[in-house]
Amino acid sequence: MSSSSSSSSCNSSSRKVEVLVLVIVIVVAVVVVFVVVAAAAVVVVVVVVVAVVVVVVVVIVVVVVVVEVGAVVARVVVVVVVVVLVVVVVVVVVVVVVVIGIGVLVIF
Which one-letter amino acid corresponds to residue 4? S
Domain containing residue 79: 2-107
Which pLDDT does position 2 carry in this prediction? 46
Please count the structural domains in the chain: 1
Nearest to 44 by CA among 83, 52, 106: 52
CA distance 83 to 69: 22
Spatial separation of the C-alpha atoms in residues 89 and 82, rounded to whole Å: 11
DSSP code for 69: T
- What is the structure's pLDDT at 24? 92
Q: Report residues of the chain scoring pLDDT below 50.
A: 1-6
Q: Containing H/E element for 1?
A: none
CB 29 within 8 Å of CB 105? no
pLDDT in the model for residue 60: 81
**Residue 6: predicted pLDDT:** 47
pTM over 0.95: no
